A and B are shown apart, each in its own frame.
Chain A
């Protein structure tokens, strides 16, 4: 069975500190991986995705994620967070055409 695990339900961090949001997937086949961000009472917005090629993918707002096949991980990192990064982050994998499997989400709380 396909699944995505986000081990941390909440991650508190001070502004300008680095952060890592963990995501592990289980898959016996080729997998595509995504990170989405959700601000309160809004839909999800794509942050970045890995389909193939370079294992390090970056977003326009400073986040990056590295696909690690041996560890079946796709952790999201940012070297210096801002207050505006406070949101819930979802890791998702896709297989069997268009079926997404979402993790349970990690709430990032950036404190001043």
Chain B
């Protein structure tokens, strides 16, 4: 089955700790994205990548970092600089990142702060 997997489903972060959310896709898509979802605010773009070894900041990149060393993987690190990390994080991918393409979403990771 082709699709996008995210792990873990739930993640707990202690204050001052960096945590990494995993996103893997076997759709052979070039473009991958990370969104943050907060209640009543819809989705906001954190980072996106259209090709391996390249990525761009979205609207709320502060306190986050990403890497794109492999086509199928786009991990997101929530750093200690992100002061309000509690949210639902969604990873998505699309074929080439071109205009009008459908983005396919993973099941999400819920990050909670201890």
List the interface of chain A (C-beta within 8 A of B). 4, 6, 9, 32, 34, 36, 41-46, 49, 51, 90, 94-100, 102-105
Contacts and interface: CB of A to CB of B under 8 A. Distances in A.
Contact of B31 (A32, A34, A98): A98
Contacts of B103: 46, 98, 100
A95 B99 CA distance: 7
Contacts, number: 67
B102 interface: yes
A105 B43 CA distance: 9
Interface residues of B, number: 30
B90 A34 contact: no
A23 B103 CA distance: 19
Contacts of A41: 107-108, 110
Given A32-B100, A51-B100, A98 B48 contact: yes
Interface string B96-107: 011111111111
B74 to A, nearest CB: 14
Contacts of B101: 98
B102 A45 contact: no
10 contacts: A32-B99, A32-B100, A43-B92, A43-B108, A44-B92, A90-B42, A96-B99, A97-B97, A98-B33, A102-B44
Contacts of A103: 42
A36 B108 CA distance: 15
Contact of A43 (B48, B90, B99): B90
Contacts of B92: 43-44
A9 B39 CA distance: 11
B105 A99 contact: no
Contacts of B16: none
Given A34-B102, A44-B90, A98-B50, A105 B42 contact: yes
Which 7 pairs between the two chains have the least Cβ-Cβ distance? A43-B105, A102-B42, A102-B43, A32-B100, A98-B97, A44-B105, A104-B42
A41 B108 CA distance: 7
Contacts of A96: 99
